[in-house]
Copies of this chain bind each other. A is one copy, B any other.
Amino acid sequence: MSELAVRAEKSDAADELAGLRERFVLDEAVYLDGNSLGALPAAVPGRLDDVVRRQWGSLRIRSWDESGWWTAPERIGDRIAPLVGAAAGQIVVGDSTSVNVFKALVGAVRLAGEGRDEILVDATTFPTDGYIAQSAARMTGCELRPVAPDEVADALGPRTAAVLLNHVDYRTGRLHDLPSLTAAIHAAGALAVWDLCHSAGALPVGLDAHGVDLAVGCTYKYLNGGPGAPAYLYVRRDLQDRFDSPLPGWNSHAEPFGMRTAYEPAAGAVRGRVGTPDILSMLALEAALEVWDGVSVEAVRAKSLALTDFFLECVGAYVPEGVVESLTPAAHAERGSQVALRCRDAGAVMKRLVERGVVGDFRSPDILRFGFTPLYVGFADVERAARVLAETVG
């Protein structure tokens, strides 16, 4: 057994989070794609079966009240809240991330008020944020300016209404400095909208502590909610009264069953709701979130950094120099919970890795992505992944 394999074994033995793996359905593969689709939490199949057979099949419409269907978006939002550093009453679950980006960005421009007609967007963003930001700009009479996150501070000006940024870059895994960027945006009188898709559930976010204005995120990566599980929208409490949604569906009405012709927005986070909540997916997510019971995000972050450090070390030891290049920052303060390696023929390499039981993913044009989910990935997994990678590219 190599020295690294021995160290991996010791680290696993000392890992206080190691037991959480039992809360998931996993197999022999090393699953390093939880940053794309989280593994199945063991509680989900049974819960969903109850939702389908009893709540839908037997109680039917009574479940809107009796099974808590109607209030699921805000109840599940409150369950996500501590994971992203938010007090209760500021998050609702529903719709896709893209739709929530639209709500958040149009809402932010309206909150910014007259005379501010420019939106800045992370130039390296996952594409959908950029596409939706373009539409939000077009429909609010704003100009959209793509700006690299480290140039945001210089780009801010008196015209800036809102800035849409990713907490962690989807390709490189770079963690952006949410506290200082948010402070700079506020100093310029603009609103900060953060996309937490690649950070929520992997590291502390601190939405309330850092005064973030609006945020969105998906729930199918580190939150393990299932394929295409509903996303969420955070609106800071003191902005909620003035939040003016571009998608004011009946679920956001102050009295949804009053069936009024005139729209009157509900108070609170509920104002971010739109249409009838997607109950099957939503309650699967609720069951999935139980894996977080008793888990501290700080402990998850500590293990995540240890895992990515160890992976980079193993790759350095096993893979011949020059074959792969890490795009993920070495500094902890700049690293999310994934490692991106640039590599020739990355698509073909990833295919072979998957065949050999090491599951990451490929991102165009030349990137191998490996996500490290501290709830179910261990150090021996990491050592094995690096070893198989070395054999595959060697």
Report which of B37, B128, B263, B279 forms a contact with A275, defined as CB distance below 8 A. B128
Q: Given A56-B227, A249-B96, are A45 and B49 neighbors across the interface (CB < 8 Å)?
A: yes
Instruction: Indicate whether A274 sits within 8 Å of B49 (C-beta atoms), given known contacts A248-B132, A261-B146.
Output: no
Contact yes or no, A57 B45, CB < 8 A? yes
Q: Is A134 an interface residue (CB 8 A)?
A: yes
Stretch of A151-159, A280-288, A309-317, A322-330 that contacts chain B: A280-288
Q: Which residue of B lies closest to A248 (CB)?
A: B131
Which A residues fall within an 8 A CB radius of B? 25, 27, 31, 33, 36-37, 39-40, 44-45, 48-49, 52-53, 55-58, 60-64, 69, 95-99, 102, 106, 123, 126-128, 130-132, 134-135, 139-140, 146, 171, 218, 220, 226-231, 245-251, 253, 257-261, 263, 274-282, 284, 354, 359, 361, 363-364
Q: Find out whether the CB atom of B57 lies under 8 angstroms from the CB atom of A40.
A: yes
A63 to B259, CA, bound (A): 41
* B37 pairs with A45, CB closer than 8 A: no
Residues of chain B contacted by A58 (CB below 8 angstroms):
25, 27
Q: Among B97, B134, B359, which residue has its beta carbon within 8 angstroms of that of A263?
A: B134
- CB nearest neighbor in B for A139: B139
Contact B275 A231 (CB under 8 A): yes
Q: Is the CB of A96 within 8 A of B259?
A: no
Given contacts A231-B275, A359-B61, contact A280 B36 (CB under 8 A): no
Question: Are A135 and B279 within 8 A (Cβ)?
Answer: no
By a CB distance below 8 angstroms, the chain B residues around A261 are 123, 127, 130, 146
Let me know if B258 and A364 touch, CB within 8 A.
yes
CB distance from A219 to the nearest CB of B (A): 11
Q: For A278, give its contact among B53, B132, B230, B247 (CB under 8 Å).
A: B230
